Amino acid sequence: VQAAFRSNLSYLLELIGSGKESLIFMKKRVRHLASQWLLATRSLAQKLKGRRRDQKQILIHIGFLTEESGDVFSPRVLKGGPLGEMVQWADILAALFLLGHSLKVTVSLKELQNNLGVPPGRGNCPLTVPLPFDLIYTDYHGLQQMKQHMGLSFKKYRCRVRVIDTFGTEPAYNLEEYATLHGYRTNWGYWNLNPKQFMTMFPHTPDNSFMGFVSEELNETERQFIKSNKASSMAVVYGKEASIWKGKEKFLAILNKYMEIHGTVYYETQRPPEVPAFVKNHGLLPQHEFQQLLRKAKLFIGFGFPYEGPAPLEAIANGCVFLQSRFNPPHSSLNHEFFRGKPTSREVSSQHPYAEDFIGKPHVWTVDYNNSEEFEAAIKTIMRTKVDPYVPYEYTCEGMLERIHAYIQHQDFCAGASPLPAKPNGHAVPSSPSPFTLSPNATHLVWSYNTSSALHVWPPVSSMQVWVSEAGQACTETCQEHGLVCEPTFFEFLNKKDVFLQLRIACDSTESEMSHLYPALAENVQECYFQKEPLLYSCAGYSTKYQRLCPCRDYRKGQVALCRDCL
Ligand code: UDP
């Protein structure tokens, strides 16, 4: 069946159900963004005119909202608890619905079981029951519940699962055998999924898929209105919880010399003691009132926590400058409680690395807060700078619809459900000419003609370039340095001796092993290493011992998830 774009969101609001504060928050958000979503849908429909799109049967099981996993979030919706996850789920629901798919939404174990067709009281039944869904979007909590209640079907159908995973899961932490052996410990379990099945809130490691959310865009009238109503000396502090103000007296005092400081910190009856008296605290605001506050403000200022939420993008979308602290040394699972046990070794260089790396000045200032002069100078300059409201395309409704459309039509993790072991030396196979050519300056390889094995690969191999990293560098960075992005899907094409030879790398000896660092070479010993386990192909891995072979691809400006020919 072909999917037909939808032009009305009211049925989705019914599907979401009610009863929990979290669901009410999500519905309000969908309703508030409705006209923007519908415009974007029309615009994407134009762009994809005539394109065949299959309608999928989709289950959306929001595990963290189930009572069975404790549902710690719903009771805190009105009390300053985290809202980022709910923002994202609301947007995922809207996008899947508008793209024309058939949806079921569950937020309890019972509904999950009913929809999976698990017979009552047969939670652990060993039979495989046919799964009535092409795709299941869930989170780590939901994954655990499905494993417990699907019996053998879980293994059979896990390739249909997509895990919404804010901070991402790197390949080294995903493969159970490897993680256990090498001490990649996590609190989140080892699922042996294709790492691309994990979908993140921001484009973190390209080993995962970037799901994102949306930030409201302003129309021309609103833009004009903002321009004439900005109060150049009004600042809003990032964070709904009082604890983030602790120990920030020094910065607040400096800021208070120049600007009127506003906060949206939750309180019950009295001003929280952490918030100084000179701050105008509005209490936690409904989302659209928070946006109104941002429209008037000039500066949105972060004090280091929360990490990587939606609010800075909303501030920038409403014409604010976002000022945040640089983390030196960077925060990670090794040195910060918040990240401990998370399945990633990513080093977080500031409160909001996406804002720092993908947006930057004039919208985003990342400064060393330990240096009061630098901090003060930034505030003074920001007050004088004019900035326009800005939303990166990938965070607009159309950008999100476009990306999810592409994933749904092209990503298929069931095709090679039990992945073939990686073939290191192309030798066993009768030697076919290499599909790569060396670039004229001999720095990298480009894909030059199609082979039958590459025809069905997505993203298309025509977007590929092979680069060699410096020792100690991850492919994520290597590709970035060349204006490209690492694409783990392509690793299989370069895990071959021919490719090393074409890059003029002499391999005195070769080895094939399980390692999230391979394919790679150790230069001084002229040894080449091949990957034995496809699930371990990793953009994120790095070690000073190795130079890595990196599969890079091009990307669309403002839509890093998609290559030029990806749609
Ligand atoms: N927000 C809100 N009221 C407020 C402050 C923030 O509704 O007073 C919303 C904001 O619009 C954003 C969401 O809270 O979409 C999540 O914001 P944040 O970046 O703080 O991330 P979190 O830590 O909550 O996940």
- Probe ligand 1: pick from 30, 88, 237, 290, max atoms within 8 Å of CB? 290
Ligand 1 atom with the smallest distance to the CA of 293 is: 8
> CB-side exposure of 188: number of CA atoms within 13 Å?
26
Determine the pLDDT at residue 427.
Answer: 44
Rounded CA gap, 251 and 303, in Å? Answer: 9
For residue 499, the CA-to-ligand 1 centroid distance in Å is 48
For residue 84, the CA-to-ligand 1 centroid distance in Å is 6
For residue 238, the CA-to-ligand 1 centroid distance in Å is 9
Rounded CA gap, 385 and 319, in Å? Answer: 11
For residue 242, the CA-to-ligand 1 centroid distance in Å is 14
For residue 256, the CA-to-ligand 1 centroid distance in Å is 23
Determine the pLDDT at residue 144.
Answer: 95
Three-state secondary-structure class, residue 341: coil
Determine the pLDDT at residue 428.
Answer: 43
Residue nearest to atom 9 of ligand 1 (CA): 287
Ligand 1 atom with the smallest distance to the CA of 285 is: 8
What is the pTM (predicted TM-score) of this model?
Answer: 0.96
- Probe ligand 1: pick from 77, 83, 305, 391, max atoms within 8 Å of CB? 83
Rounded CA gap, 294 and 263, in Å? Answer: 11
**Burial level of 250, CB count in 10 A (0-12/13-18/19+)?**
exposed
Rounded CA gap, 375 and 255, in Å? Answer: 9
- Probe ligand 1: pick from 240, 282, 307, 395, max atoms within 8 Å of CB? 240
Determine the pLDDT at residue 123.
Answer: 53
Q: Is the ipTM of this complex over 0.95?
A: yes
User: Which residues are CB-contacts of 60 (< 8 A; sequence separation ≥ 6)?
Assistant: 89, 92, 93, 96, 103, 104, 105, 106, 136, 137, 138
For CA atoms 433, 434, 437, 442, the dihedral sign is negative
- Probe ligand 1: pick from 89, 167, 216, 287, max atoms within 8 Å of CB? 287
Q: How many CB atoms are located within 10 Å of the residue 520 CB?
A: 24
Ligand 1 atom with the smallest distance to the CA of 239 is: 20
For residue 493, the CA-to-ligand 1 centroid distance in Å is 43
Sites in the chain below the pLDDT cut of 70: 119-127, 416-432
**Burial level of 74, CB count in 10 A (0-12/13-18/19+)?**
buried
